[in-house]
Structure 1
Amino acid sequence: MAIRTPIGARIRRKRKAIGLTQTALANALGISASYLNLIENNKRAIGGALLLRIGERLDIDLAHLSGENELRTIGTIGELMVDPVMRGIEMEAESIRDLATRFPEAAAALTRLYRAYSDASANIETLRHRLRSDPYLSQLLHETLNRVAGIKSGAEILATIPDLTNAQRDRFVSTINSEINDLVPTIRNLVDYFDQTTTDERLISPMNEVDDAIIDHNNHFPVLEELAEALAAELPARRPVQEEALAALLSRRFGIGFRLTSGAEQNPTDAAEGNVLAIPDVTPPSTRIFAMLRTYAMRAASPVIEEVVASFALTSGEARRLAFRSLSSYVAGAMMMPYEAILSLAEERRYDIELIGSLVGASFEQVAHRLVTLRRTGREGVPFGFLRADRAGRMTKRFPLPGLILPASGHGCLLWPIYSAFAERGVVRQVSVFPGGARFLQVAKQVVKHSSGFNRLPPTFSVMLSCDMLHADRIVYGRDLTAGEAAVETGPSCMLCPRMSCIHRHEMPTGFDRGEGIAYGGAAVSPAAGR
């Protein structure tokens, strides 16, 4: 399901609020009054340069104008509506949109409850798995059941056999008493084991907490941008940043040594034991430089990063640790690619990710990450959604695509280019049409983290950026799109997609009833459309 925010209505309200006529605003924008009238009545889609000009002329934040925050809430509620717990409750797409726009606090509460419910369900599934597979827990439960069975057997004999001798009766009572005495420590061990393994659990997982906090801030942190600019000024002037100069600076300022280790080590670390930054020698230069910059940020500006982490109001030490590392990576990316410089370069080179990467000494994934953060008020870049998937197809990183339902975890739609990119050497582009008609330009590329030795599989992912087709005129990947380049009908995932005739479907949507069909966005889908 995809739902568009009524951008035209927002434009009309703001125009009237500041006392502008349609003709005056149209002249200022360089378009006709009749075309502006169509826009305000939501009969023409707008985006790209025109959307930016309208936002600047009316002094409207681009995120508010496009309704990105509301669209994320709408997407989550849409996901909730196809969950089995909502079976029998139908809510049309328009009703979901009205709820999010007219009662944002209620919608936010609903999405938070759904996230808590989802995480609680995951915790229950984890406990079920533990009951089946944890050897120590299985031993404790087996011992408990045996002792209870012994007590029950002895009690039944005492209760049902009246002609027991006193000696026999005393023996059974003694046996029951012994079993009870032995059962008490077993039960105590069982309780202690559950207490020990669940002390740090929360209804919302640490990673989900961090993701929610970053999304709530639109993946843009002005204080960290300012911090990164100040730290970047301390670096050697030569650009791209040189590995040797950065290693010397880390050593001189913080006493941190730099060492290349055997390629058998899989991942870089941040200032390991002995104040040494150990990085595998098989990692590419951009990865080594990024690890150095992250370490530099952690040492030079830890209080500022921790202050931002504290503003997230996270509920566990693990969530705070993950948030600190994520924001340290944010600062490292901003140091490598300062805001104004990377935005100007992106606009000049039309968001050509590979070309930008070669100019700034960054990898495809690093540039893609940075482009997603360009949300400064009045100086926004193209609004991108970000996804990363591993070779098994699971999404390992994501920043939501405005207006679309995305699964919170697991796998996405097989027809997304993020999956076909594994079979290609370069960038794959695709125009994807989602249920409801929203059209997105998606570009993806396979990225290999570093080389590996013979018979060793290197860490390999696929990274995808998506933007609304309204912005396609601003990026190089939207160039030369022809009518013959057919758009691909896609969806969020099989569990959330109503396209029943899709030949790639491998499971039915949540709530589907083969006898009755499934209500999706208020429309019933016939079960006759088989897999």
Structure 2
Amino acid sequence: MRGRKLFIGRNIRAIREQHQLTQANFANQLGISTSYLNQIENNQRHLSANVLLSLAEKFSVDITTLSEDDSNRLLADMIEALADPLFGGESPNGQDLKLVTQNAPAVAKAFLSMHHALRRAGEQLAELDDTLERSGALTEPAPYEEVRDYFHYIDNYVHELDVLAEDLAEAALQRGQKSVRALAEYIERKHRVHVSVANISADERVLRSYHSVSRTLKLDSRASESTNAFQIAHQIALIEHGDLIRDIVNRADFRSEDAGAICQIGLANYFAGAALLPYGQFLDLARTHRHDLEILSDHFGASIEQVSHRLSTLQRNGSKGIPFFFARVDQAGNITKRHSATKLQFARFGSACPLWNVHRAFETPEQICRQLAETPDGVRYLCLSKAVTKKKGGFREPVQRHALALGCEIIHASELVYADDLDIKSEQAFEPIGISCRICDRSNCHQRAVPPLKRKLDIDENTRTVIPYKF
């Protein structure tokens, strides 16, 4: 937090209300005036070092948790939403938006939900006008998108499940023992569930099938060991911690039952990933080997995707890892998974920037591609990408292809083995990338697909540039 002023009035107000104190009593314990506290809570004054120390001493507040990450995510999403032509190019200035996301995040999230519903309604009207008759179909966000936003705004870290997953790893996974065998023995010994690894019909395309009556968990023999281990851990989560998972879902207060059911699966998946890559052990090894993905993958018997995703979740208070962004992109450029603990926030709509090296990964599937990149806000990143394929079955069976993207701000580059021979001090080494063409203001981009929605076009019939318009 050194080097920048903290305007986090909402957080301070929450701490005060948690202790059921008036502003006068709270200010007295912090050793400041009531008027100063009132200004802090309304983001009219920033927190001083003395106030931070008083919070830590008097109220046992972990000051590392006082950050603007959630506000940054909301701010990025608000800017993108307001770029929609629906608003006619009129939008509040950046300072006004920042005040809303810091002081009234619930209002900002309600606005995003409304915009999401309007956009979804417009898209469905354009494609299937008969859906107008469906009850509620146009006013509710898609369940998967609602769940994805839920994980996005909780920093993709679920402390209760993460700690329990660490306990499972300690109880079931012994050094040198295969995860599949260890977890199969654990679930059979503790819950009398028999694990059957068999050749499931290719037509079924089922990775995991649990039969509660026979207490049999059926896995596909053609899946990788890391996949089967993940599926066993997922089933353990549902059996051992189903009540906790349902409680977390209820607290999330989703708009539909479908979203709640999807989130329940997502939370079990979270537990499984955290069990195979237990927090403390994984973080220590990541630091020791300077975040070498292959070494981490080999050590834990996990896939590169599991390792990359886990690196982006290391946000435990008092023991945080490097803030990474992580995404999974298909060959059309659609982002099918996304999370960012950095300032870089992925577009909610449309494809990813074509200049981002994640697209190049498909050209060299066996390699980890590296890129030094700079976003329009001037922040610089070390970006990694790798193509992955998931094949199941014979010659004629379909193959899933995705590219994984992982990266961090350049200030952390020395902690990654991938930066060793890169010239991170050279201005020319950084490639300009954006988030999405529809919200990117770069005027000289040769790969631009569509003009930015907020900018007025300047079309000159007598002049032809690389792109057929100026703005």
TM-score of the two chains, using structure 1 as the length reference: 0.71
Determine the structure 2 residue equivalent to 1:261.
Answer: 199
Determine the structure 2 residue equivalent to 1:118.
Answer: 116
Q: Does 1:229 align with 2:166?
A: yes
- Kept in 1: contact 2:62–2:317 (CA 8 A): no
The farther-off stretch of 117-126 and 221-230 is: 117-126
Task: State the distance in 1 between where 2:337 and 2:458 align.
Answer: 37
Residues 1:286 and 1:63: Cα distance change in structure 2 (over 3 Å) = same
Q: Secondary structure at the match of 2:110?
A: helix
Report the alpha carbon displacement of residue 331 of structure 1 after superposing the two structures with TM.
Answer: 0.7
Question: Aligned letter for 2:303?
Answer: S
Report the alpha carbon displacement of residue 380 of structure 1 after superposing the two structures with TM.
Answer: 0.2
Gap regions ≥5 residues in structure 2 = 8-45, 55-59, 461-466
Residues 1:91 and 1:379: Cα distance change in structure 2 (over 3 Å) = same
Residues 1:504 and 1:124: Cα distance change in structure 2 (over 3 Å) = closer
Report the alpha carbon displacement of residue 227 of structure 1 after superposing the two structures with TM.
Answer: 1.5
Q: Does 1:458 align with 2:427?
A: no
Q: Secondary structure at the match of 2:172?
A: coil
Residues 1:276 and 1:95: Cα distance change in structure 2 (over 3 Å) = same
Residues 1:410 and 1:251: Cα distance change in structure 2 (over 3 Å) = farther
Q: Secondary structure at the match of 2:218?
A: strand
Question: Aligned letter for 2:88?
Answer: R
Report the alpha carbon displacement of residue 99 of structure 1 after superposing the two structures with TM.
Answer: 4.3
Task: State the distance in 2 between where 1:491 and 1:231 align.
Answer: 41
Instruction: Give the one of 203, 216, 220 matched to 1:280.
Output: 220
Task: State the distance in 2 between where 1:267 and 1:456 align.
Answer: 14
TM-score of the two chains, using structure 2 as the length reference: 0.79
Task: State the distance in 2 between where 1:262 and 1:413 align.
Answer: 39
Instruction: Give the one of 494, 501, 504 matched to 2:437.
Output: 494
Q: Secondary structure at the match of 2:358?
A: helix
Q: Does 1:471 align with 2:471?
A: no
Q: Secondary structure at the match of 1:8?
A: coil
Determine the structure 1 residue equivalent to 2:81.
Answer: 80
Residues 1:222 and 1:305: Cα distance change in structure 2 (over 3 Å) = same
- Kept in 1: contact 2:459–2:468 (CA 8 A): no
Task: State the distance in 2 between where 1:489 and 1:462 align.
Answer: 20
Q: Considering Cα pairs closer than 8 Å and 6+ residues apart, tell me whether 1 or 2 has the greater RCO.
A: 1
Determine the structure 2 residue equivalent to 1:439.
Answer: 380
Q: Does 1:9 align with 2:5?
A: yes
Task: State the distance in 1 between where 2:185 and 2:421 align.
Answer: 46
Report the alpha carbon displacement of residue 481 of structure 1 after superposing the two structures with TM.
Answer: 2.0
Deviation by residue 1:31-57 (Cα, 9 ceiling, x = unmatched) = xxxxxxxxxxxxxxxxxxxxxxxxxxx
Q: How does 1:186-225 map to 2 (within 5 A)?
A: 194=133, 197-198=134-135, 203-225=140-162
Q: Secondary structure at the match of 1:449?
A: strand
Report the alpha carbon displacement of residue 498 of structure 1 after superposing the two structures with TM.
Answer: 1.1
Question: Aligned letter for 1:97?
Answer: K
Report the alpha carbon displacement of residue 318 of structure 1 after superposing the two structures with TM.
Answer: 0.7
- Kept in 2: contact 1:240–1:359 (CA 8 A): no
Question: Aligned letter for 1:78?
Answer: I
Task: State the distance in 2 between where 1:243 and 1:338 align.
Answer: 16
Report the alpha carbon displacement of residue 124 of structure 1 after superposing the two structures with TM.
Answer: 4.0
Gap regions ≥5 residues in structure 1 = 21-57, 135-190, 518-526
Question: Aligned letter for 2:255?
Answer: T
- Kept in 2: contact 1:447–1:460 (CA 8 A): yes
Determine the structure 2 residue equivalent to 1:307.
Answer: 247
Question: Aligned letter for 1:258?
Answer: S
Instruction: Give the one of 361, 376, 379 matched to 2:316.
Output: 376
Report the alpha carbon displacement of residue 451 of structure 1 after superposing the two structures with TM.
Answer: 4.7
Report the alpha carbon displacement of residue 292 of structure 1 after superposing the two structures with TM.
Answer: 1.2
Task: State the distance in 1 between where 2:413 and 2:276 align.
Answer: 26
User: Which is higher, the Rg of structure 1 or of structure 2?
Assistant: 1
Q: How does 1:516-531 map to 2 (within 5 A)?
A: 530=470
Q: Secondary structure at the match of 1:491?
A: coil
Task: State the distance in 2 between where 1:293 and 1:385 align.
Answer: 25
Residues 1:117 and 1:251: Cα distance change in structure 2 (over 3 Å) = same
Question: Aligned letter for 2:323?
Answer: P
- Kept in 2: contact 1:271–1:277 (CA 8 A): yes
Report the alpha carbon displacement of residue 230 of structure 1 after superposing the two structures with TM.
Answer: 2.7
Task: State the distance in 1 between where 2:218 and 2:269 align.
Answer: 17
Task: State the distance in 1 between where 2:468 and 2:397 align.
Answer: 47
Question: Aligned letter for 1:244?
Answer: R
Task: State the distance in 1 between where 2:272 and 2:346 align.
Answer: 28
- Kept in 2: contact 1:419–1:462 (CA 8 A): yes
Instruction: Give the one of 42, 47, 64 matched to 2:66.
Output: 64
Task: State the distance in 2 between where 1:437 and 1:267 align.
Answer: 45
- Kept in 1: contact 2:117–2:138 (CA 8 A): no
Task: State the distance in 2 between where 1:494 and 1:263 align.
Answer: 43
The farther-off stretch of 463-472 and 371-380 is: 463-472
Determine the structure 1 residue equivalent to 2:276.
Answer: 336
- Kept in 2: contact 1:84–1:510 (CA 8 A): yes
Deviation by residue 1:47-69 (Cα, 9 ceiling, x = unmatched) = xxxxxxxxxxx97644534x211
Task: State the distance in 2 between where 1:348 and 1:431 align.
Answer: 23
Question: Aligned letter for 2:297?
Answer: G
- Kept in 1: contact 2:312–2:340 (CA 8 A): no
Q: Does 1:362 align with 2:266?
A: no
Q: Secondary structure at the match of 1:445?
A: strand
Report the alpha carbon displacement of residue 96 of structure 1 after superposing the two structures with TM.
Answer: 3.4
Instruction: Give the one of 342, 353, 368 matched to 1:427.
Output: 368
RMSD: 3.1
Q: Secondary structure at the match of 2:429?
A: coil
Task: State the distance in 2 between where 1:242 and 1:73 align.
Answer: 38
- Kept in 2: contact 1:120–1:204 (CA 8 A): no
- Kept in 1: contact 2:208–2:220 (CA 8 A): no
Report the alpha carbon displacement of residue 503 of structure 1 after superposing the two structures with TM.
Answer: 1.1
Task: State the distance in 2 between where 1:292 and 1:453 align.
Answer: 25
Question: Aligned letter for 1:509?
Answer: P
Question: Aligned letter for 1:304?
Answer: L
Task: State the distance in 2 between where 1:263 and 1:420 align.
Answer: 34
The farther-off stretch of 263-272 and 394-403 is: 263-272
Report the alpha carbon displacement of residue 87 of structure 1 after superposing the two structures with TM.
Answer: 2.1
Q: Secondary structure at the match of 2:350?
A: coil
Task: State the distance in 2 between where 1:503 and 1:401 align.
Answer: 29
Residues 1:131 and 1:246: Cα distance change in structure 2 (over 3 Å) = same
Residues 1:95 and 1:431: Cα distance change in structure 2 (over 3 Å) = farther
Task: State the distance in 2 between where 1:77 and 1:370 align.
Answer: 27
Q: Does 1:100 align with 2:101?
A: yes
Task: State the distance in 1 between where 2:342 and 2:292 align.
Answer: 22
Task: State the distance in 2 between where 1:369 and 1:396 align.
Answer: 13
Task: State the distance in 2 between where 1:7 and 1:69 align.
Answer: 19
Report the alpha carbon displacement of residue 410 of structure 1 after superposing the two structures with TM.
Answer: 3.2
